[in-house]
C-alpha cells in the first residue's frame, strides 16, 4: 500500500489493492484518509475568527489629552503621542522616607470622557472593589497600613476611568487553537493585547498622606497577558487578572522608589 499526495490541503491518499481488508463496492479504489483533518479544521476556525476580527468594531482610540476630571490632569505628560499613557513624577529622592501606605477605595470616574463600553453601574462598582482588594492585599506584603497617616505614609488613590468588555468564548477560542496559541505567544512576547480581550483604563495618584502633596501620577490602559486563558472567559475574569498584575507592579514600583528592599 503506497501513499500519494491527493492535492487537497491536509489529505494523504492511501492506495489499497483489490481484495484487501477494505472490501465493499469501492474495493480496489483509492481511499482518502484525512490524517490532518483536525488541524485543518482548527485552522479554518481560527481563520474565520481572524476575518471576523477585522470587521469587529474596535475600542475607542487614545485621546490626545488626559482625563479632565482627575486631580492630576494638568500635571500629566503623555508618554508617547497617540498612547493612553500619561505620567507625572517628582524626583525619586522624595520617596525615600516613606515606609507605610494607605490605599483609598477605588473610585469610578464620572467625567464626560469616561468610556465603559456599556458596562452598567453595578458592574463598574464591582470591578472597582476588585482593584481595591488586590491593591491592598499586594501592597500589604511590603508596607504597613497605619490607623492614621504619619510622616512616613503614602496614600494611593486609584480611579477607574473606563473598561472594555471581553468577548467571552471568541477570546478563548483565539487562544486554544494551535495557530491561535502561537499568535498569542507572539503577542505576549511583544507585549501586545490579545484578540477580543477586554481592558481597563485607570489613573493612579500617589500623595503624601499628611500634606496631600501629589508625588506621582499615571494613567494607563492595561490588558491581561495574551497567554492568560482564564482571563478570556469573562470581563470579570479579565478585570481580576488585570488587578493582580497592576497591584503587583505597583508594589514593586513603590519598593524601588522607597528603596525598601535595599533598606531591609
Number of Cα atoms under 13 Å in the Cβ half of residue 174? 28
What residue spans in the chain does CATH classification 3.40.50 cover?
73-263
- 33 - beta bridge partners? 12
Average pLDDT over residues 229-248: 86
Name which residue leads in pLDDT, 51 or 249.
Answer: 249
Asked if pLDDT for residue 45 goes beyond 80, the answer is: no
> Which of 4-8, 110-114, 249-253 comes out lowest in average pLDDT?
4-8
Residue 167 pLDDT: 78
Distance of CA 157 to the CA centre of its chain: 21
Residue 53 pLDDT: 40
Asked if pLDDT for residue 33 goes beyond 70, the answer is: no
92-150, pLDDT tens digit by residue? 999 999 999 999 999 999 999 999 989 999 999 999 999 999 999 999 999 999 999 99
Residue 231 pLDDT: 61
Domain 73-263, architecture per CATH: 3-Layer(aba) Sandwich (3.40)
Asked if pLDDT for residue 10 goes beyond 80, the answer is: no
Asked if pLDDT for residue 91 goes beyond 50, the answer is: yes
Q: Is residue 143 exposed (0-12), middle (13-18) or buried (19+ Cβ within 10 Å)?
A: buried
State how far the alpha carbon of 45 is from the alpha carbons of 14, 171, 178, 230, 254, in Å: 27, 13, 11, 20, 45
Whether the model clears a pTM of 0.75, i.e. scores above it, the answer is: no
Amino acid at each position: 500500500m503506497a501513499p500519494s499526495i491527493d492535492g487537497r490541503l491536509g489529505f494523504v491518499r492511501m492506495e489499497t489493492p483489490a481484495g484487501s481488508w477494505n472490501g465493499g463496492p469501492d474495493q480496489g479504489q483509492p481511499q482518502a484518509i484525512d490524517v490532518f483533518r483536525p488541524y485543518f479544521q482548527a485552522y479554518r476556525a481560527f481563520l474565520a475568527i481572524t476575518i471576523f476580527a477585522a470587521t469587529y468594531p474596535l475600542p475607542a482610540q487614545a485621546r490626545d489629552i488626559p482625563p479632565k476630571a482627575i486631580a492630576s490632569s494638568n500635571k500629566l505628560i503623555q508618554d508617547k503621542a497617540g498612547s493612553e499613557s500619561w505620567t507625572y513624577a517628582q524626583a525619586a529622592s522624595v520617596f525615600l522616607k516613606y515606609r507605610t501606605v494607605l490605599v483609598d477605595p477605588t473610585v469610578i470616574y464620572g467625567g464626560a470622557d469616561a468610556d465603559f463600553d456599556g458596562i452598567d453601574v453595578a458592574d463598574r462598582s464591582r470591578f472597582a472593589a476588585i482593584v481595591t482588594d488586590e491593591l491592598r492585599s499586594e501592597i500589604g506584603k511590603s508596607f504597613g497600613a497605619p490607623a492614621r497617616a504619619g510622616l512616613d505614609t503614602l496614600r494611593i488613590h486609584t480611579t477607574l476611568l473606563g473598561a472594555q468588555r471581553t468577548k467571552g468564548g471568541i477570546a478563548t477560542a483565539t487562544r486554544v487553537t494551535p495557530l491561535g496559541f502561537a499568535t498569542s505567544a507572539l503577542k505576549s512576547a511583544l507585549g501586545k493585547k490579545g484578540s477580543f480581550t477586554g481592558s481597563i483604563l485607570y489613573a493612579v495618584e500617589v500623595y503624601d498622606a499628611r500634606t496631600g502633596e501629589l508625588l506621582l501620577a499615571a494613567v494607563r490602559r492595561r490588558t491581561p497577558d495574551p497567554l492568560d486563558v482564564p482571563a478570556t472567559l469573562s470581563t470579570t475574569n479579565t478585570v481580576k487578572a488585570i488587578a493582580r498584575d497592576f497591584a503587583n507592579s505597583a508594589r514593586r514600583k513603590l519598593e524601588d522608589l522607597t528603596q525598601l528592599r535595599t533598606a531591609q
